[in-house]
Structure 1
Amino acid sequence: MQSRIQARIYKPAKNAMQSGWANTRKWLLVYEAQRAKRIDDLMGYTSSDDTRRQVKLSFDTLEEAVAYAEKHGLGYEVQEPHARKLRIKAYSDNFKFARTTRSA
Protein backbone atom coordinates (compact mmCIF):
# COMPACT_ATOMS: atom_id res chain seq x y z
CA MET A 1 0.00 0.00 0.00
CA GLN A 2 1.29 3.44 -0.84
CA SER A 3 1.89 5.99 1.88
CA ARG A 4 -0.33 8.62 0.26
CA ILE A 5 -4.06 8.01 0.51
CA GLN A 6 -5.67 8.15 -2.92
CA ALA A 7 -9.05 6.59 -2.17
CA ARG A 8 -11.49 6.27 0.69
CA ILE A 9 -13.63 3.16 1.23
CA TYR A 10 -16.74 3.58 3.35
CA LYS A 11 -20.35 2.55 3.80
CA PRO A 12 -22.67 5.58 3.47
CA ALA A 13 -24.94 6.58 6.33
CA LYS A 14 -28.72 6.63 6.14
CA ASN A 15 -30.26 9.83 4.88
CA ALA A 16 -31.74 11.72 7.84
CA MET A 17 -34.70 12.91 5.77
CA GLN A 18 -35.94 9.43 4.85
CA SER A 19 -36.85 6.35 6.81
CA GLY A 20 -35.51 3.84 4.26
CA TRP A 21 -32.07 2.25 4.13
CA ALA A 22 -31.92 2.13 0.32
CA ASN A 23 -28.41 3.35 -0.54
CA THR A 24 -26.64 2.20 2.60
CA ARG A 25 -25.98 -1.48 1.89
CA LYS A 26 -23.01 -1.22 -0.49
CA TRP A 27 -19.44 -0.08 0.13
CA LEU A 28 -18.23 2.93 -1.84
CA LEU A 29 -14.73 3.66 -3.11
CA VAL A 30 -14.27 7.40 -3.65
CA TYR A 31 -11.11 8.96 -5.04
CA GLU A 32 -9.56 11.79 -3.06
CA ALA A 33 -8.97 15.13 -4.80
CA GLN A 34 -5.65 15.32 -6.63
CA ARG A 35 -5.85 19.04 -7.39
CA ALA A 36 -7.51 21.93 -5.61
CA LYS A 37 -10.65 23.54 -6.98
CA ARG A 38 -10.25 26.91 -8.63
CA ILE A 39 -12.53 29.88 -9.17
CA ASP A 40 -13.33 30.80 -12.75
CA ASP A 41 -12.21 34.36 -13.48
CA LEU A 42 -15.14 35.26 -15.73
CA MET A 43 -18.19 33.76 -14.02
CA GLY A 44 -16.91 33.08 -10.50
CA TYR A 45 -17.90 29.40 -10.61
CA THR A 46 -15.88 26.89 -8.65
CA SER A 47 -14.49 24.25 -10.99
CA SER A 48 -11.92 21.50 -11.20
CA ASP A 49 -10.24 19.53 -13.97
CA ASP A 50 -9.85 16.50 -11.68
CA THR A 51 -12.37 14.04 -13.18
CA ARG A 52 -11.64 11.28 -10.67
CA ARG A 53 -13.41 13.38 -8.03
CA GLN A 54 -16.71 12.56 -9.76
CA VAL A 55 -16.22 8.78 -9.67
CA LYS A 56 -17.90 6.62 -6.99
CA LEU A 57 -17.47 2.87 -7.33
CA SER A 58 -19.83 0.60 -5.38
CA PHE A 59 -19.04 -2.89 -4.12
CA ASP A 60 -21.13 -5.51 -2.33
CA THR A 61 -18.45 -6.28 0.26
CA LEU A 62 -15.52 -4.54 1.86
CA GLU A 63 -13.18 -7.27 0.62
CA GLU A 64 -14.13 -6.53 -3.01
CA ALA A 65 -13.40 -2.83 -2.57
CA VAL A 66 -10.04 -3.50 -0.91
CA ALA A 67 -9.11 -6.02 -3.62
CA TYR A 68 -9.93 -3.44 -6.32
CA ALA A 69 -7.79 -0.79 -4.64
CA GLU A 70 -4.86 -3.17 -4.23
CA LYS A 71 -5.16 -4.48 -7.79
CA HIS A 72 -4.93 -0.96 -9.17
CA GLY A 73 -2.18 0.15 -6.78
CA LEU A 74 -4.28 2.71 -4.93
CA GLY A 75 -3.50 3.82 -1.42
CA TYR A 76 -6.72 3.56 0.53
CA GLU A 77 -8.27 4.25 3.89
CA VAL A 78 -11.19 2.20 5.22
CA GLN A 79 -13.78 3.97 7.35
CA GLU A 80 -15.85 1.47 9.30
CA PRO A 81 -19.57 2.30 9.69
CA HIS A 82 -20.87 3.34 13.08
CA ALA A 83 -23.08 0.90 14.94
CA ARG A 84 -26.74 1.81 14.65
CA LYS A 85 -28.85 2.12 17.75
CA LEU A 86 -32.19 0.55 17.03
CA ARG A 87 -34.84 1.65 19.47
CA ILE A 88 -38.21 0.09 18.76
CA LYS A 89 -40.98 2.29 20.01
CA ALA A 90 -44.70 2.25 19.39
CA TYR A 91 -46.53 5.38 18.30
CA SER A 92 -48.82 5.09 21.31
CA ASP A 93 -45.80 5.50 23.61
CA ASN A 94 -45.86 9.23 22.79
CA PHE A 95 -49.18 9.57 24.64
CA LYS A 96 -48.56 7.47 27.75
CA PHE A 97 -49.60 9.05 31.02
CA ALA A 98 -46.41 7.93 32.79
CA ARG A 99 -44.09 9.24 30.07
CA THR A 100 -41.01 10.74 31.69
CA THR A 101 -39.13 12.11 28.69
CA ARG A 102 -40.14 14.41 25.92
CA SER A 103 -39.78 12.85 22.48
CA ALA A 104 -38.47 14.99 19.67
Structure 2
Amino acid sequence: MTARIFKPAKSAMQSGMARTKEWVLEYEGAVPRQIDPLMGWTTSFDTRTQVRLEFATKEEAIAYAEREGIPYRLDEPKPRELIRKSYADNFKFGRIGAWTH
Protein backbone atom coordinates (compact mmCIF):
# COMPACT_ATOMS: atom_id res chain seq x y z
CA MET A 1 0.00 0.00 0.00
CA THR A 2 1.41 3.35 -1.05
CA ALA A 3 1.42 6.45 1.12
CA ARG A 4 1.15 10.00 -0.13
CA ILE A 5 3.27 12.78 1.38
CA PHE A 6 1.95 16.26 0.69
CA LYS A 7 1.42 19.72 2.08
CA PRO A 8 -2.32 20.48 2.45
CA ALA A 9 -3.84 23.31 0.45
CA LYS A 10 -5.48 26.35 1.98
CA SER A 11 -9.14 25.96 2.84
CA ALA A 12 -11.46 27.66 0.38
CA MET A 13 -13.79 28.62 3.22
CA GLN A 14 -11.38 30.95 5.00
CA SER A 15 -8.62 33.33 4.02
CA GLY A 16 -6.20 32.13 6.70
CA MET A 17 -3.35 29.69 6.22
CA ALA A 18 -4.08 27.49 9.26
CA ARG A 19 -3.10 23.81 9.04
CA THR A 20 -1.12 24.33 5.82
CA LYS A 21 2.37 24.58 7.30
CA GLU A 22 2.91 20.91 8.18
CA TRP A 23 3.47 17.95 5.87
CA VAL A 24 0.99 15.06 5.92
CA LEU A 25 1.44 11.34 5.29
CA GLU A 26 -1.78 9.57 4.25
CA TYR A 27 -2.27 6.05 2.94
CA GLU A 28 -3.99 5.53 -0.38
CA GLY A 29 -6.82 3.02 -0.45
CA ALA A 30 -5.92 -0.50 -1.54
CA VAL A 31 -9.52 -1.61 -2.04
CA PRO A 32 -12.33 0.54 -3.43
CA ARG A 33 -15.03 1.86 -1.14
CA GLN A 34 -18.43 0.17 -1.14
CA ILE A 35 -21.93 1.36 -0.40
CA ASP A 36 -23.53 -0.35 2.58
CA PRO A 37 -26.85 -1.84 1.39
CA LEU A 38 -28.66 -1.32 4.69
CA MET A 39 -27.79 2.28 5.58
CA GLY A 40 -26.44 3.60 2.27
CA TRP A 41 -23.19 4.79 3.85
CA THR A 42 -19.86 4.49 2.11
CA THR A 43 -17.75 1.84 3.82
CA SER A 44 -14.30 0.39 3.45
CA PHE A 45 -12.54 -2.56 5.04
CA ASP A 46 -9.18 -0.81 4.69
CA THR A 47 -8.51 0.94 8.01
CA ARG A 48 -5.18 2.42 6.91
CA THR A 49 -7.00 5.13 4.97
CA GLN A 50 -8.05 6.57 8.35
CA VAL A 51 -4.41 7.17 9.38
CA ARG A 52 -3.15 10.75 8.91
CA LEU A 53 0.29 11.59 10.28
CA GLU A 54 1.54 15.18 10.42
CA PHE A 55 5.21 16.20 10.32
CA ALA A 56 6.91 19.57 10.68
CA THR A 57 9.12 19.12 7.61
CA LYS A 58 9.15 17.14 4.38
CA GLU A 59 12.41 15.45 5.39
CA GLU A 60 10.84 14.10 8.61
CA ALA A 61 7.94 12.58 6.67
CA ILE A 62 10.27 10.96 4.13
CA ALA A 63 12.57 9.65 6.87
CA TYR A 64 9.59 8.10 8.70
CA ALA A 65 8.32 6.40 5.54
CA GLU A 66 11.76 5.01 4.71
CA ARG A 67 12.41 3.89 8.30
CA GLU A 68 9.09 2.00 8.43
CA GLY A 69 9.49 0.57 4.91
CA ILE A 70 6.44 2.37 3.52
CA PRO A 71 6.46 3.06 -0.22
CA TYR A 72 5.52 6.69 -0.73
CA ARG A 73 4.69 9.25 -3.39
CA LEU A 74 5.81 12.84 -2.81
CA ASP A 75 3.53 15.66 -4.03
CA GLU A 76 5.34 19.00 -3.99
CA PRO A 77 3.13 22.05 -3.36
CA LYS A 78 2.66 24.58 -6.13
CA PRO A 79 4.03 28.04 -5.36
CA ARG A 80 1.34 30.49 -4.38
CA GLU A 81 0.71 33.29 -6.87
CA LEU A 82 -0.20 36.58 -5.27
CA ILE A 83 -2.38 38.94 -7.27
CA ARG A 84 -1.66 42.55 -6.44
CA LYS A 85 -4.89 44.53 -6.11
CA SER A 86 -5.57 48.07 -5.11
CA TYR A 87 -8.84 49.40 -3.77
CA ALA A 88 -8.28 52.63 -5.72
CA ASP A 89 -8.37 50.68 -9.01
CA ASN A 90 -12.14 50.27 -8.55
CA PHE A 91 -12.58 54.03 -9.06
CA LYS A 92 -9.97 54.91 -11.71
CA PHE A 93 -10.99 56.78 -14.85
CA GLY A 94 -9.95 54.23 -17.48
CA ARG A 95 -11.53 51.28 -15.66
CA ILE A 96 -12.49 48.35 -17.92
CA GLY A 97 -15.89 46.87 -17.13
CA ALA A 98 -19.30 48.14 -16.19
CA TRP A 99 -19.74 50.25 -13.07
CA THR A 100 -22.31 48.72 -10.74
CA HIS A 101 -23.46 49.90 -7.36
Q: Note the alpha carbon deviations across 1:43-98, whole angstroms, 9 max, x for none.
A: 22211121111111111110000001001100001001011111232222222222
Output the amino acid matched with 1:30. E
Which structure 2 residue ranges, 5 or more long, are not aligned? none
Cα distance in 2 for partners of 1:101, 1:80 equals 37
Partner of 2:46: 50
Deviation at 1:99, TM superposition (A): 2.6
Which TM-score applies when normalising by structure 2?
0.85
Deviates more, 1:12-21 or 1:68-77: 12-21
Question: For 1:32, which of 12, 23, 28 is the aligned residue?
Answer: 28
The residue aligned with 2:64 is 68
What secondary structure does 2:19 align onto?
Answer: helix
Over aligned residue pairs, what C-alpha RMSD do you find? 1.8
Calculate percent identity across the aligned residue pairs. Answer: 55
Gap regions ≥5 residues in structure 1: none
Q: 1:12 aligns with which of 8, 11, 14?
A: 8
Distance 2:6 2:31 in 1: 22
Q: Confirm or deny that 1:90 pairs with 2:86.
A: yes
- Counterpart in the other structure of 1:80: 76
